[in-house]
């Protein structure tokens, strides 16, 4: 065979065509080898970019989850403090109040317990029957902090062991004041660390990938996959606090962990409402191993390609280029669809023009607040608002100006003195709505009147209006009920508020009316 090959090759190598063909094949071989080396490097860069996006998106998702978790606790504590402020500190001794605390605890799976302590730190009321009668909380950080600070907002402390069960919990607290504004004690909610442990374990991650919930003073509240011994460990020397958070409240970057020295690609996000940071980190070495496993077949095929390059030649090279283009197109399409999907998810409950809650969110929260009204036997009020002579405004100034008008009306409604559980929504077209839980008719008509005046104060010119003053105005209608659980209560409340709105329109507009 060798003798035959020599006989065939010798004349060929002596010819110009043979030499050129050999040179051509060498060039093609090196070109294909170089091209495939670039392809693998490019796939590696794409892999890193994917992980960077995944880390950033995961951290934002976890931040939304954490914000929702603590928002529910915030609303619950605010309601408890409101009850004590309304009825006085002695109300905490009433059995009905303890029953209400237990009811709140059963509704929120993240809650370990709700507790009320007086100004000396003595236990007064709790949702947990295991609390010792002589329990005292005068020494914990949260009690000392509230006794020295007049801030009535939510305070999140370092992780501690529950006195009743020994579980790891995150203390979330609010200050209680007496009628004179002096320190009267603390309302405490304890959030289970196991709640975050269970939620974070839902994610299918590699064994050295990391998720963490951190206080903004760099204290770890929970981190996966580390043992509980790392809880309350400080990350003040981490690049996250030394550099990243000083540049931006969210993003992604690669750094070596100060806990175990593992290099990871991290996504991080600071919560908007609470002093918390969430991080999600992917092990860079695991990413490299995954990339090699994904590309080992490509490497073998490239070797085979080099062996048959003489027969395949330019056709194979063009096929490889075509495959690359198709691959990059698929990746680009996937990234675009992912981006669109995230955008749609974030906008699904928000009106794109005004930034207010949209009709879908309004309908969902109205039903939830009707359920809450029925359970707590509290009034629920609804305000319907409509821009006066808006069709004339559009006809006079154009639809673009009309959109700007609706944005400014929405901004005026945002500026109202609303509580955390009140909701301002764009109901549709030029119509807006405000849901007011635990609000009676007098409070609702007062807020509606403030809304009417706020739009007048905005001073938006409207030369086609019949309302004196020549500015954009709104009319408002209020309705209030205590839900009984009957079908159609949401529709009934909306109709009553709408009839009151119609009455305000008939009475000259630029005013608020309450349903009879």
94-151 confidence digits (pLDDT tens): 888 888 899 988 899 999 999 999 988 888 888 876 655 556 666 888 999 999 999 9
| Residue keyed to tokens 């749609």 | 344
Domain finish residue from 291, 307, 323: 307
Residues 460 and 104: their CA atoms lie apart, in Å, by 44
Quick one: angle between helices 390-397 and 399-414, nearest 10? 130
Name the band, by pLDDT with cuts 50, 70 and 90, for residue 320: very low
With vertex at residue 67, the alpha carbon angle to CA 61 and CA 72, rounded to the nearest 5 degrees, is: 130
3 state SS of 213: strand
337 has pLDDT over 80: no
Domain finish residue from 286, 307, 328: 307
Residue 334 within a domain: no
What is the per-residue burial (b if ≥16 Cβ within 10 Å, else e) of 218-247? bbbbbbbebeeeebeeebeebbbbeebbee
The pLDDT, as a whole number, for residue 457 is 94
Same domain, 238 and 373: no
340 has pLDDT over 70: no
Same domain, 380 and 270: no
| pLDDT single digits (tens) 480-513 | 999 998 989 999 999 999 999 999 999 999 999 9
Residue 181 within a domain: yes
Residues 312 and 281: their CA atoms lie apart, in Å, by 44
Domain finish residue from 287, 307, 327: 307
The pLDDT, as a whole number, for residue 4 is 44
13 has pLDDT over 70: no
**Ramachandran class of 470: left when φ > 0, alpha when ψ lies in -120 to 50, beta otherwise:** left
Indicate the range of 39-53, 183-197, 207-221 predicted with least confidence.
Answer: 39-53
| Residue keyed to tokens 């529910």 | 72
With vertex at residue 222, the alpha carbon angle to CA 123 and CA 265, rounded to the nearest 5 degrees, is: 160
- Residue 516, CA distances (Å) to 441, 477, 503 in order: 10, 11, 11
In 3D, which of 315, 435, 313 has the Cα closest to residue 381? 435
* CATH of residue 84: 3.30.450.20
Higher pLDDT, 450 or 29: 450
Same domain, 281 and 406: no
Q: What dihedral angle (degrees, nearest 10) is formed by the CA atoms of 412, 416, 421, 427?
A: -30
Please name the residues in contact with 238: beta carbons below 8 A apart, sequence gap of 6 or more: 218, 255, 257, 258
The pLDDT, as a whole number, for residue 181 is 86
Residues 141 and 57: their CA atoms lie apart, in Å, by 34
Q: What percent of the chain has a predicted confidence (pLDDT) above 90?
A: 63
Q: What percent of the chain has a predicted confidence (pLDDT) above 70?
A: 87
Name the band, by pLDDT with cuts 50, 70 and 90, for residue 211: very high
Residue 53 within a domain: yes
User: Residue 117's beta-bridge partner residues?
Assistant: 123, 186
Same domain, 186 and 303: yes
Name the band, by pLDDT with cuts 50, 70 and 90, for residue 197: very high
319 has pLDDT over 70: no
Residues 150 and 182: their CA atoms lie apart, in Å, by 9
The pLDDT, as a whole number, for residue 317 is 42
Domain enclosing residue 67, as ranges: 49-307
Task: Indicate if the alpha-carbon torsion angle 298, 301, 306, 308 is positive or negative.
Answer: negative
Residue 467 within a domain: yes
Same domain, 299 and 384: no
In 3D, which of 104, 416, 108, 156 has the Cα closest to residue 271? 156
- Give 272's DSSP letter: S
Residue 212 has phi, psi (to 5 degrees) of -150, 145
Residues 487 and 494: their CA atoms lie apart, in Å, by 13
Token pair listed for 32: 């294909």
Residues 149 and 141: their CA atoms lie apart, in Å, by 12
Same domain, 279 and 370: no
* CATH of residue 491: 3.30.70.270
The pLDDT, as a whole number, for residue 239 is 94
Number of structural domains (the chain) is: 2
Q: Give the pTM.
A: 0.54
Same domain, 303 and 369: no
| pLDDT single digits (tens) 228-260 | 999 999 999 999 999 999 999 999 999 999 889
| pLDDT single digits (tens) 369-422 | 999 999 999 999 999 999 999 999 999 999 999 999 999 999 999 999 999 999
């Amino acid at each position: 065979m060798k003798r035959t090959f020599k006989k065939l090759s010798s004349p060929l190598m002596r010819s110009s065509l043979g030499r050129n063909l050999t040179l051509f094949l060498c060039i093609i071989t090196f070109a294909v080898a170089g091209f495939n080396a670039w392809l693998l490097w490019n796939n590696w860069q794409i892999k890193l970019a994917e992980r960077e996006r995944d880390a950033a998106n995961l951290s934002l998702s976890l931040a939304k989850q954490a914000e929702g978790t603590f928002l529910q606790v915030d609303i619950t504590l605010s309601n408890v403090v409101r009850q004590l402020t309304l009825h006085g500190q002695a109300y905490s001794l009433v059995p009905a109040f303890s029953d209400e605390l237990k009811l709140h605890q059963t509704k929120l799976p993240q809650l370990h317990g709700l507790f009320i302590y007086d100004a000396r730190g003595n236990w007064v009321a709790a949702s947990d029957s295991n609390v010792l009668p002589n329990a005292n909380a005068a020494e914990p950080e949260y009690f000392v902090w509230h006794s020295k600070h007049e801030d009535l907002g939510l305070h999140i402390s370092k992780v501690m062991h529950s006195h009743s069960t020994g579980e790891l919990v995150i203390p979330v607290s609010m200050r209680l004041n007496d009628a004179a504004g002096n320190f009267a004690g603390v309302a405490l909610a304890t959030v289970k660390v196991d709640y975050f442990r269970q939620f974070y374990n839902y994610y299918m991650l590699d064994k050295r990938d990391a998720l963490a919930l951190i206080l903004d003073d760099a204290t770890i509240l929970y981190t996966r996959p580390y043992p509980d011994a790392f809880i309350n460990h400080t990350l003040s020397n981490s690049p996250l606090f030394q550099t990243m958070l000083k540049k931006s409240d969210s993003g992604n970057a690669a750094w070596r962990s100060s806990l175990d020295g593992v290099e990871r690609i991290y996504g991080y996000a600071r919560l908007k409402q609470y002093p918390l940071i969430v991080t999600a980190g992917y092990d860079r070495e695991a990413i490299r191993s995954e990339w090699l496993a994904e590309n080992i077949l490509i490497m073998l095929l490239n070797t085979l390609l080099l062996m048959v390059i003489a027969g395949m030649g330019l056709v194979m090279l063009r096929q490889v280029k075509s495959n690359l283009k198709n691959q990059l197109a698929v990746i680009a399409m996937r990234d675009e669809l992912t981006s669109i999907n995230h955008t749609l998810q974030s906008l699904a409950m928000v009106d794109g023009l005004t930034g207010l809650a949209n009709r879908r969110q309004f309908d969902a929260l109205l039903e939830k607040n009707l359920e809450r009204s029925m359970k707590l036997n509290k009034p629920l009020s609804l305000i319907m608002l409509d821009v006066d002579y808006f069709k004339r405004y559009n006809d006079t100034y154009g639809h673009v100006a009309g959109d700007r008008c609706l944005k400014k009306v929405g901004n005026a409604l945002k500026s109202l003195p609303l509580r955390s559980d009140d909701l301002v929504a764009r109901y549709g077209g030029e119509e807006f709505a405000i849901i007011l839980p635990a609000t009676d008719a007098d409070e609702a008509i007062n807020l509606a009147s403030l809304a009417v005046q706020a739009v007048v104060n905005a001073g938006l010119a409207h030369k086609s209006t019949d309302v004196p003053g020549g500015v954009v105005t709104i009319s408002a209608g209020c309705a209030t009920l205590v839900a009984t659980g009957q079908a159609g209560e949401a529709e009934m409340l909306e109709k009553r508020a709408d009839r009151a709105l119609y009455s305000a329109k008939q009475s000259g507009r630029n005013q608020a009316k309450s349903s009879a």
